[in-house]
């Protein structure tokens, strides 16, 4: 790896932990559609999931660069951080914009693992990634909000104690800007399920505990409002940037997993009396995948540095996620092609990681939407209709 390795001691610790969760562990979970409880508990005990929480609340108080190093190394080792990465960044909405009471109520428990805050309720069936068009509505009634609506593709809701929920508190046609009139509520899922909130699993090609959430006259205490009413969109943007950068780090880890596996196989697999890696038709795609992953790593590092410095980084975060997700996907395709038929065999773990990394061309934001953002917000091109 040509790019300098950040946080070598943390990475080494992650490698040692992940060695205890080899491919057969993940294959079994995949077959059973099971949640990786043992893996998440081990990460929690090691303090890796509380790395972004300030020391005063029981965390490590490190920056996003440290969190990215953890997730990158995790994926490079063949593990999958999707089951728990939201435990790292979803709490950022509370940390940056929550009241002192909300922070004290949630952050220490998140840090020690007694509270899971992994569900991020934003996406809806009719709005997709056009967040300003969400229709889930919270009506203020005395000291409560009464919430009605629907969320979809919400991962880990069944394995979370709390959820960060984005709702409208003012109709879209009654605000000056589409991004206004949205608010963030903290929902205690332990109290809400069966009392106005229903969680329905969605079976997908990935073992990500994906769900659909229905809200029917769900009552949420006003004290669970984060920040000011109507300013929720700006609050979740910080979380979205962190999410994109941490997922970009996971993609880098995936890319390096695939490149390592492809290179090792190309050196040992002999056809017609010589290693297949001696053929340029095999060499060049692996080399190109490596070049792409190194370039993406530099973009990710730049965007994370801006985030940790508290500077605007929305465009950089989007570009980093695009570059890293494409690098990982190209590496995945190359690795599968290098392995030939064996790449489809579950025991090699290539097909599992191939499925996992394909998601990031679509979520948490699709490649086309990133390109649209760059075209209109960075290059000043006219918006399409």
Residue corresponding to tokens 């809806």: 124
List the CATH number of the domain containing 138. 2.40.110.10
**Partners of residue 347 on adjacent β-strands:** none
On whether both 240 and 271 belong to a single domain, the answer is yes
7 HSE (CA, 13 A, CB side) = 20
User: Do 133 and 31 lie in a common domain?
Assistant: no
Query: Tokens representing 276?
Result: 């297949």
Residue ranges of the chain with per-residue pLDDT less than 50 = none
Pair 213, 275 in one domain: no
CATH no. for residue 26?
A: 1.10.540.10
Same domain, 101 and 160: no
* Calpha distance 202→49 (Å, rounded): 26
Is residue 238 a part of any domain in this protein? yes
Indicate if 244 and 372 belong to the same structural domain: yes
Instruction: Using the 3D structure, point to which of 203, 229, 255 is the last residue of a domain.
Output: 229
Residue 385: per-residue pLDDT: 60
Residue 385 CA, distance from chain mean position: 29
Given 229, 264, 297, the domain boundary residue is 229
What pLDDT score was predicted for residue 334?
98
Q: How far is CA 274 from CA 59, 143, 269, 286, in A?
A: 52, 75, 8, 18
Closest CA to 305 of 72, 89, 134, 63: 63
Q: How far is CA 385 from CA 22, 372, 375, 382, in A?
A: 48, 12, 14, 9
Task: Output the pLDDT for position 111.
Answer: 95
Residue count of the chain: 385
In a domain, 277, yes or no: yes
Q: For residue 8, with 0-12 CB atoms within 10 Å meaning exposed, 13-18 middle and 19 or more buried, which class applies?
A: exposed
Residues 218 and 249 in one domain: no
Q: What does the alpha-carbon distance between residue 275 and residue 268 come to, in Å, rounded to a whole number?
A: 6
Q: Give yes or no: residues 369 and 285 share one domain.
A: yes
**Residue 1 within any structural domain of the chain:** no
Q: How many separate domains does the chain show?
A: 3
CA distance 172 to 181: 7
The pLDDT value given to residue 96: 93
Of 112, 130, 158, the one marking the end of a domain is 112
Instruction: Please state, in angstroms and rounded to a whole number, the distance separating the CA atoms of residues 57 and 41.
Output: 19
Is the Cα torsion angle 318, 323, 328, 329 positive or negative in sign?
A: positive
Task: Name the burial class of residue 43, with classes exposed (0-12), middle (13-18) and buried (19+) by CB atoms within 10 angstroms of its CB.
Answer: buried
| pLDDT attached to residue 207 | 81
**246 and 358 part of one domain:** yes
Residue 156 lies in a domain: yes
Q: Same structural domain for residues 246 and 369?
A: yes
Angle, CA 337 vertex, CA 336 and CA 342 arms, to 5°: 60
d(C-alpha 318, C-alpha 135), whole Å: 25
Q: 192-210 burial, b if ≥16 CB within 10 A, otherwise e?
A: bbeebbbbeeeeeebbbbb
Q: At 330, which CATH number?
A: 1.20.140.10
What tokens were used for 40?
A: 């998440």
Give the residue carrying structure tokens 């020690």.
112
155 falls within a domain: yes
Q: Does residue 144 sit in helix, strand or coil? A: strand
Structure tokens at 170: 């003012």
Question: Do 190 and 213 fall into the same domain?
Answer: yes
Please check whether residue 383 lies inside any domain of the structure. no
Q: Are 330 and 292 in contact (CB under 8 A)?
A: yes
- Compute the distance between CA of residue 28 and CA of residue 30 in angstroms, rounded to an integer: 5
- Tell whether 247 is covered by a domain: yes
pLDDT for 326 equals: 98
Residue 174 lies in a domain: yes
Domain housing 176: 117-229
Q: 13 and 81 share a domain?
A: yes
Say yes or no: 64 and 163 in one domain.
Answer: no
Give the per-residue pLDDT at 384. 73
């Amino acid at each position: 790896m040509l790019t300098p390795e950040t946080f070598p001691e943390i990475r080494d610790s992650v490698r040692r932990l992940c060695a205890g969760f080899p491919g057969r562990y993940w294959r079994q979970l995949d077959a059973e559609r099971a949640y990786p409880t043992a893996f998440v508990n081990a990460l929690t005990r090691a303090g890796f999931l509380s790395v972004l929480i300030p020391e005063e609340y029981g965390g490590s108080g490190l920056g996003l660069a440290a969190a990215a190093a953890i997730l990158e190394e995790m994926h490079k080792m063949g593990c999958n951080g999707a089951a728990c990465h939201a435990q790292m960044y979803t709490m950022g909405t509370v940390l940056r914009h929550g009241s002192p009471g909300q922070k004290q109520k949630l952050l220490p428990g998140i840090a020690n693992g007694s509270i899971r805050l992994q569900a991020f309720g934003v996406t809806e069936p009719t709005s997709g990634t056009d967040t300003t068009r969400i229709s889930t509505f919270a009506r203020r009634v005395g000291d409560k909000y009464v919430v009605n609506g629907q969320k979809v593709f919400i991962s880990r809701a069944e394995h979370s104690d709390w959820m960060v929920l984005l709702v409208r508190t003012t109709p879209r046609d009654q605000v000056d800007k589409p991004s206004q009139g949205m608010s963030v509520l903290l929902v205690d899922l332990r109290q809400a399920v069966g009392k106005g909130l229903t969680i329905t699993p969605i079976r997908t090609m990935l073992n990500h505990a994906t769900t659909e959430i229905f809200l029917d006259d769900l009552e949420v205490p006003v004290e669970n409002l984060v920040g000011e009413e109507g300013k929720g969109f700006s609050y979740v943007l910080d979380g979205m940037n962190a999410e994109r950068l941490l997922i970009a780090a996971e993609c880098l880890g995936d890319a390096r997993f695939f490149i390592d596996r492809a290179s090792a196989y190309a050196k040992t697999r002999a056809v017609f009396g010589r290693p297949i890696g001696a053929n340029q038709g095999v060499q060049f795609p692996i080399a190109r995948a490596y070049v792409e992953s190194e370039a993406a790593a530099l973009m990710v590092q730049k965007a994370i540095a801006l985030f940790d410095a508290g500077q605007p980084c929305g465009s950089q975060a989007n570009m980093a996620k695009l570059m890293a997700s494409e690098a990982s996907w190209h590496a995945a395709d190359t690795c599968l092609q290098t392995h030939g038929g064996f790449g489809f065999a579950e025991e090699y773990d290539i097909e599992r990681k191939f499925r996992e990394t394909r998601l990031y061309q679509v979520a948490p934001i699709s490649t086309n939407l990133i390109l649209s953002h760059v075209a209109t917000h960075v290059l000043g091109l006219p918006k399409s209709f």
